Amino acid sequence: MLSLLLVSAFPAAAQQKFACVNTDYVLRNVPDYANAQKRLDKYVEDWTKELSEKQSEIETLRAEYEQESYLLPDNLKKRRQDEIKSKEQELRDLQQQRFGPGGDLDKKRAELLKPVQDRVYAAIERIAQEKNYGFVFDKAGSPAVLFANKKFDISDDVLESLGYKPGAQNAPPEADEQKKKPSNPEMRSRDADGRSRPVREPANLKPKRN
């Protein structure tokens, strides 16, 4: 029974038309996406600075306490310790708010990047329907695509469909693509939060416990 099913499936698969697209290349040639990425990077820069300033404030309070603690009565020691612990908790809460799951960074990604990505996906779907493609693979770093003939690459078609001139100068050589295997996690997980190139989040600022 299994053999009969496999045999019968091959003719149907052979009749399907296939195409591939490089979403990294497409997004690099969409000005709206580059502008949105710059805005997102600015938010990350500001939030990182905000966290660093609060971390410095905690370190200053801790240093002052260590220098003066031997002169302080127990009640003042307790008050200063509680102040430091409160500041540390505020820092942890702010880290979670800015860069935690579902936090400000994820919200800004969805707000700024996802609309452009949705336009790209809509263009890919439109071209696939017009040309009757059964499958369209994303070759932007996908390990499943080991080889893709250029004539089946619809990346430039997608750009033209969006109203942009294909930027051949931005297309990496096929050999370099195989070596670098650029990834596009946002395009592969658009239902989750929609990202393009990963934004580098700040190192985890873990305040020391007193």
Q: What is the CA radius of gyration of the chain?
A: 26
Burial of 200 (0-12, 13-18, 19+ CB in 10 A): exposed
Band of residue 139 on the pLDDT scale cut at 50, 70, 90: confident
Q: What is the CATH number of the domain that holds 80?
A: 3.30.910.20
Between 24 and 51, the more confident residue is: 51
- The verdict on residue 36 lying in a domain is yes
- The verdict on residue 210 lying in a domain is no
Number of domains in the chain: 1
d(CA 113, CA 26): 14
Containing structural domain, residue 145: 16-188
Instruction: Report the candidate in 132, 146, 150, 138 with the shortest Cα–Cα distance to residue 17.
Output: 132
Encode pLDDT of 28-40 as tens digits.
899 999 999 999 9
- The verdict on residue 202 lying in a domain is no
Instruction: Report the candidate in 166, 155, 176, 44 with the shortest Cα–Cα distance to residue 103.
Output: 44
- The verdict on residue 130 lying in a domain is yes
d(CA 17, CA 35): 35
Residue 125 pLDDT: 87
Determine which of 65-69, 81-85, 157-161, 167-171 has the lowest per-residue pLDDT on average: 167-171
- The verdict on residue 83 lying in a domain is yes
- The verdict on residue 199 lying in a domain is no
Band of residue 99 on the pLDDT scale cut at 50, 70, 90: very high
Residue 131 to residues 16, 117, 128, 140, 152, Cα–Cα distance (Å): 11, 21, 5, 21, 11
- The verdict on residue 114 lying in a domain is yes
Encode pLDDT of 140-197 as tens digits.
875 555 445 666 778 888 888 888 888 754 544 444 444 444 444 444 434 434 444 4
- The verdict on residue 164 lying in a domain is yes
Q: Is 19 left (phi over 0), alpha (psi -120 to 50) or beta?
A: beta
